[in-house]
Structure 1
Amino acid sequence: MLDTELTGLDPRHEEIVSIGAVRVRSLRIVSRETFHVLVRPRKDLPKESTLIHRITPDQVRDRPRLRHILPDFLEFVGTSLIVGHHVGLDMAFLNRAMDGIFGGRMGNPCLDTLRMAQIHRAEHWENYYDRYALNVSYALSDLALEWGLPLFPAHEALADAMQTAYLFLYLIKKIRGGRLETLSDLYRAGRNWRWHS
């Protein structure tokens, strides 16, 4: 499970300021196997980003640059499946950094728990009266609260990675009535969803 904290949302101009990851093995969270670092960005940390993730300029002033952190992160991740909530954003930042520093991109397969939550909700709506409810949220903390999962502080990379792990394990048990046995089953569930684009 992966999460990053950022200076902003545009991978072309903004930077990673924190990376958090936790390992899940055999559908169990391995809480002793985590990765968490703060990163010193090249430019000053914007006040707007500090208001979101609460990482201050003082906290990152003496931290290493991303180029020094990426090798350890890549060793931690290896060839594993990467799961994240809105993981495309995390991967856009990581791959832009990888390309600029090492001239290549990460080849790991990825799954998005936001997409999984949409699949689960669509299955639920097919059977119940609230299929047209418009006041739904796919924010990580809102989903955890809605489905009774343990709650972790929001917008902190390692805590968000842990929150994502709990959400992932919950959704694995719920999608298709818990009959997902392989990653192929999960990919097929996403492809067969009638609103899949």
Structure 2
Amino acid sequence: MNLFDLKSLCARLRPGPGKTNLPLLEENNRLCRALDQTRPLEDYVYTVLDTELTGLSARREEIVSIGAVRVRGLAIVPGESFSVLVRPSIPLPKTSTLIHRITPEAIAQAPPLAEVLPELIEFCKGTLIVGHHVGLDMSFLNRACRKNHGQPLANPCLDTMRMAMLWREKRTPSHYEQFNLSISYVLTDLAHEFDLPRFTAHEALGDALQTAYLFIYLAKKIAGNRPLTLRELFRAGQSWRWYM
């Protein structure tokens, strides 16, 4: 799925004819459906988020933590962040704890995702959502939104992994680069490659901050010396020829 494709993404996430039981979600989706794609990237408000999971299966696994930061004017907004531990309904595997260092004891008294969703939706309301491989995060969040409130989030998403691919092609437009096995799109590797500030990996708020710095860097690099509109970025993503 190419997450630069805002139109098709919105079509997949657009609420159906049923009513949601959460007015806040309906308001968010109304704002997102009315999004104007013709403004420069710096004009938008972004929510850069990350989730930590019990595992990687969107069908079986669950969220154990969420971190998010606000980007406005292509700058991180100090003090505007969201961070919460979530108690899943399934046991937390030991392998999961080894990755994100969240223990069963740490989440024993945490709220379930159903209680967290309204606060998260309020934080994301009317914004574009940015993430690294954001489709995975959104699959979990939208499954929960559908289950608890009847509709998914309609926020358009931008994937920093796709943006990194686009920027690499713009810098070195060689067909053979796609066969270069030394290229990595892992978040920490990209942060090192672009000499960005480093944060604790596999910690939701730390990864959200890392992704925010990466997003701002890539947005400015891709734009170059002229204003770049959201629609232009969307079209650049459409024309990009390497898909994973």
Q: Place the TM-score, normalised by the shorter chain, in its bin.
A: over 0.9
Amino acid at match of 2:90: K
Match among 63, 70, 89 for residue 42 of structure 1 = 89
Match among 188, 207, 217 for residue 170 of structure 1 = 217
Count of residues in Structure 1 that have an aligned counterpart in Structure 2:
197
Deviations 1:60-85 (CA, angstroms, capped at 9, x unpaired): 00011111100000001001000000
Q: What is the alpha-carbon distance in structure 2 between the residues aligned to residue 61 and residue 192 of structure 1?
A: 47
Match of 2:193 in 1: 146
The answer for unaligned runs of 5 or more in structure 1 is none
Match of 1:59 in 2: 106
Q: When the two structures are superposed, what TM-score results if normalisation uses the length of structure 2?
A: 0.77
2:85 and 2:107 in contact (8 A); partners too: yes
Q: What is the alpha-carbon distance in structure 1 between the residues aligned to residue 225 and residue 180 of structure 2?
A: 24
Q: What is the alpha-carbon distance in structure 2 between the residues aligned to residue 196 and residue 131 of structure 1?
A: 10
Q: When the two structures are superposed, what TM-score results if normalisation uses the length of structure 1?
A: 0.94
Match of 1:32 in 2: 79
Is 1:18 the counterpart of 2:65 in the alignment?
yes
Q: Offset at 1:180?
A: 4.7
Match of 1:84 in 2: 131
- SS of alignment partner, residue 88 of structure 1: helix
Match of 2:6 in 1: none
The Cα RMSD (Å) is 1.8
2:51 and 2:65 in contact (8 A); partners too: yes
2:63 and 2:88 in contact (8 A); partners too: yes
The answer for unaligned runs of 5 or more in structure 2 is 1-47
Deviations 1:118-169 (CA, angstroms, capped at 9, x unpaired): 1111122227996752211101000000110000010000110000000001
Deviations 1:16-72 (CA, angstroms, capped at 9, x unpaired): 000100000011100210000000111111101101111000100001111110000
Amino acid at match of 2:152: R
Q: What is the alpha-carbon distance in structure 2 between the residues aligned to residue 178 and residue 14 of structure 1?
A: 43
Q: What is the alpha-carbon distance in structure 2 between the residues aligned to residue 61 and residue 178 of structure 1?
A: 50
Match among 92, 102, 119 for residue 149 of structure 2 = 102
Q: What is the alpha-carbon distance in structure 1 between the residues aligned to residue 54 and residue 238 of structure 2?
A: 33
Give percent identity, aligned residues only. 59
- SS of alignment partner, residue 143 of structure 1: helix
Higher RCO (C-alpha 8 Å, min separation 6): 2
Deviations 1:82-125 (CA, angstroms, capped at 9, x unpaired): 00000000000001111111121110000000000011111222
1:122 and 1:131 in contact (8 A); partners too: no
Runs of 4+ off more than 4 Å: 127-132
